[in-house]
A and B are shown apart, each in its own frame.
Chain A
């Protein structure tokens, strides 16, 4: 018999180990159905595949953290190994001087804002109305976000402007302008997002910071990146903020 919505829920609960005693007995009965069994086997394999994918992502994340630590340690190696017994305060002063010297040294070889931007910029995904090629939707909202996803930024801006104004439209119009190399317009739209509890507030700060860096205004960008770092919702975001700060220093 073809699978029902209920069967999918049952399989999902099984995979997440959330079956109740009642669920379990229904589950056991359903195992007699070859279609149910087939779907269960597929979902089990899918769980393994997702675990493998999840693990490789975590591994990448830890390796990024590791690279950052190694870079920090490399800087520390420049501290002299043997010093005379001088007052602790003098040692600290010396380290500070060394770090300042290191910063001075590295700042002479600093990358341009444009280079840093190119290295750190990734387009923000369309999380509002993901494109579904097999089932295209025709509402203006969908059209606007699909244009954005397909990188038709001019069309996206035009369509987004036709939608009711919200933090969502402000954010994506800002992003589209950023991609069209219109930094001032991008910042104007980012600045319209004022509510700190908006889901776009943290991403907006990130992209505003990148816009400023691309315009060689790294000093204005730093407080925004620090804000993102302090409020990062994912380890990935935190790591990105740390890497960007490293590049600016």
Chain B
């Protein structure tokens, strides 16, 4: 087995790596608890695809919470966070699929933390159109806007990540990209 997912890094190190936007942090997070989660989920008799799907959603939810600063200090282990979100997502998925084995586990369904879990985004018509508009942007603009608004990178972090000359170039590009996006939106007549 390759070394990278045999070792589970220390929680604090992992959290810090995520907070300082280190490139390998997401992969490290994913690999750290993947096997334990698969083993844990056996009790739900779900197929592996559903288990992995739930685990991936849990990793994304955790990652988002760290990126947006909702979670800046751990009050329990990362494993506990990931397992409780993952379990919640998996049970919901099984419920949707009408699985019968669920009855035994209904007591397990407590949401991890009221504001911590963010369920599937149900997009309104306008939001869907906006998402389509984002996809019409060039790669550079799309990445820049995602880094700033979704991953909430600082201007300086974006400069380093995307190799811009200086912070002013980032700002100029950001407002140009926003303008481009607005002109795409205007054509879609949803304002």
Contacts and interface: CB of A to CB of B under 8 A. Distances in A.
Nearest to B162: A127
Given A53-B135, A232-B23, A237-B23, 7 more contacts: A48-B127, A49-B131, A49-B134, A52-B127, A54-B151, A130-B173, A234-B23
Interface of B is mostly: helix
Contact of B150 (A51, A72, A76): A51
A5 B176 CA distance: 14
Interface residues of B, number: 55
A183 interface: no
B23 to A, nearest CB: 5
A126 B27 contact: no
B121 A51 contact: yes
Interface of B: 1-2, 5, 23-27, 30-31, 34, 52, 56-57, 59-60, 63-64, 68-69, 121, 123-124, 126-128, 130-131, 133-135, 138-142, 145-146, 149-152, 160-164, 173, 176-177, 180-181, 183, 185, 191
Contact of A16 (B30, B152, B162): B152
Given A46-B130, A52-B121, A15 B149 contact: yes
B177 to A, nearest CB: 8
Interface of A is mostly: helix
B23 A235 contact: yes
A200 B173 CA distance: 18
Contacts of B134: 49-50, 53
Interface centre among A15, A38, A52, A63 (most CB of B within 10 A): A52
Interface residues of A, number: 44
Given A127-B163, A233-B161, A62 B121 contact: no
A16 B145 CA distance: 13
